Amino acid sequence: MFSDTSSSSDAEISSEDLMSDEEIRRVEKLREEKQNWKGRRLKYECGNIGGDRIGKKKISQETITKIIDQIKQFPTYISHYSRGQTEATFLSYDLTEAKMDEMYLEDESNPKVSFTFYQKIFYTNFNLRRKPPIKDTCNKCDASSTKINNVFKEQLQALHEEHLANAKLAKISMQNDMKDASTNPLQETLCYDMEKVLSLPKLPTNIVYYKRQLGIYNESIHAGSTNKPYAFIWKEGVAGRGAQEVGSCLKKFIDLHLKEGVQYLILWSIIKRSKKHNPIEVIDMKSEDFFSIQDIEKHISNRKISVDKTTVSWLKTKIIEIQKDKPFSIFLKESQASESRYQEVDISKVSRGRKIVKDFSPLTPLYPDGKEISNKKAEDINLKDVRKKCQKPDYKLLRSTNIVPYIIRWLSYNDFEIALFTTNLLLELTNYAIHEVSEESIKEVLEHSLIEFLVNILKNMDEDLLRESDIFMNILFIIKCCTGKHELDVLEEARDKDNLYTDEPPPSS
């Protein structure tokens, strides 16, 4: 009985709790994984598994900070083009991300990172761009193009077409004024514009990218009567680049080049592109060439009502006319169309019912002693540490006539970078001869060598490349510092010496 009862009970349990083969395999697998996990944990704690290698490729925050600090060392600037339309700042146009990464890796104290990771830090932590937009954009065109898909499409399209028509009319008017200036002796038309800021020095060393460079400003003026372009150039330490500086350049042109008998002077605040074969006359602006209008501003008033009691909109003004016999009246026109009329605005100040009349012929200098630059920039443009990276010139060459073959050997490659580096070497030689050498014979040798140097420049270098590069600026500086002569006089002497112009005489300065 007992055995029968026991068998019955076992059978009863087996029927209720019996697991399938699949469930048994699952349990065994879990048990095996648990044992393996315990074994791995034991080996990890005993050091048999390289647990200290886990996460070894993770880049530390210290490395990221070093990359950010290195990128912050590069000077940035606000674009001359489309300024106010973007919050981004710009690096030097020839400074690429690959170049920045290469300079980062050159420092042996910096941890090594991949270029991909360097790019990731560059884009996630900075709003930097490597070069500005290619051309100027019109705010009104951009605004109209953005809103053109809205519900007021037809109305905005009409306004946009009207704006383009006005721009086309202005361009035609400018072309007609330039053409009239070439045929009418009583009229002169000038197109002027501030060009892109150039940065100096330009040296073949990476240290320059970490420095605040000196700005070189260029106000370009194109004369309609002669179809000749002019470049009024000055450095940052002489003056700024505001309205008073632009007006001073126009005054300088009027004093130097405005032909006698002109009764109508038309100014267009946009540059006319010059043909490549038209030589550019470079004019070096000094601190005494810039004048202030602060005294004039104290005796004029900004009015929004014309003498006819009509409202004046300065933002809609397209043409401004000033008459010599009415110096305190400004005539405004809101359209290029010939049928639109002028509005006269009296800008003179009135004191106790009487107009204040003042003679403004003696203008005061804007920066009598030049415009100071910051101390940090002055330290950055000191080239002592740059000279350590560049080849030092052999000053002993100044004691013989071997300086010419030394320079010509570099120029024989007809390469822009080599020629630019050569002119920088010659700048150092010139500075050494003027300030550190007392022997007059050495200066005479250098002056004689300079003539031969210019001759070879004219013969070997491409004319367009020479005109657009910094080499020409270096040559002008060398001529003035070394010889004390005007650059055009030395250039004519060089041309006559080498007989570069055989068919016709050289042009006069």
The first and second tokens of residue 498, run together, are 């080498």
CB 227 within 8 A of CB 182: yes
Burial class (CB in 10 A: 0-12, 13-18, 19+), 181: buried
Which comes out higher in pLDDT, residue 250 or 499? 250
CB 450 within 8 A of CB 489: no
266-289 pLDDT, tens digit each: 999 876 665 555 678 888 888 899
CA distance 390 to 402: 21
| Residue 503 predicted with pLDDT over 50 | no
Mean pLDDT of the chain: 69
| Residue 387 predicted with pLDDT over 50 | no
What are the beta bridge partners of residue 344?
Answer: 331
Pairing between β-strand 281-284 and β-strand 198-200 as defined by DSSP bridges: unpaired
- Out of 69-73, 248-252, 424-428, 476-480, the most confident range is 248-252
Which comes out higher in pLDDT, residue 300 or 498? 300
120-146 pLDDT, tens digit each: 888 888 888 766 544 556 666 666 666
pLDDT of residue 424: 56
Q: What does the angle CA 350 – CA 351 – CA 353 come to, to the nearest 5 degrees? A: 75
Pairing between β-strand 128-129 and β-strand 319-323 as defined by DSSP bridges: unpaired
Q: What is the pLDDT averaged over residues 205-225?
A: 78
157-187 pLDDT, tens digit each: 788 888 888 888 888 888 899 999 989 999 9
Lowest average pLDDT, out of 127-131, 154-158, 434-438, 494-498, goes to 434-438
Which comes out higher in pLDDT, residue 270 or 1? 270
Which comes out higher in pLDDT, residue 480 or 20? 20
| Residue 359 predicted with pLDDT over 70 | no
CA distance 285 to 289: 6
CA distance 33 to 12: 33
Q: In this structure, is the dihedral angle defined by the CA atoms of residues 420, 421, 427 and 433, taken in order, positive or negative?
A: negative
Neighbouring C-beta atoms of residue 113, cutoff 10 Å:
18
pLDDT of residue 210: 66
pLDDT of residue 187: 92
CA distance 214 to 208: 11
CA distance 358 to 348: 10
Which comes out higher in pLDDT, residue 123 or 421? 123
396 to 402, 406, 424, 427, 429: CA distances (angstroms): 10, 12, 17, 15, 10
328-341 pLDDT, tens digit each: 888 988 887 777 78
pLDDT of residue 143: 66
What are the beta bridge partners of residue 281?
Answer: 230
pLDDT band with cut points at 50, 70 and 90 for residue 245: very high
Of the chain, the end-to-end C-alpha distance in Å amounts to 139
| Residue 149 predicted with pLDDT over 50 | yes
pLDDT of residue 404: 42
CB 197 within 8 A of CB 240: no
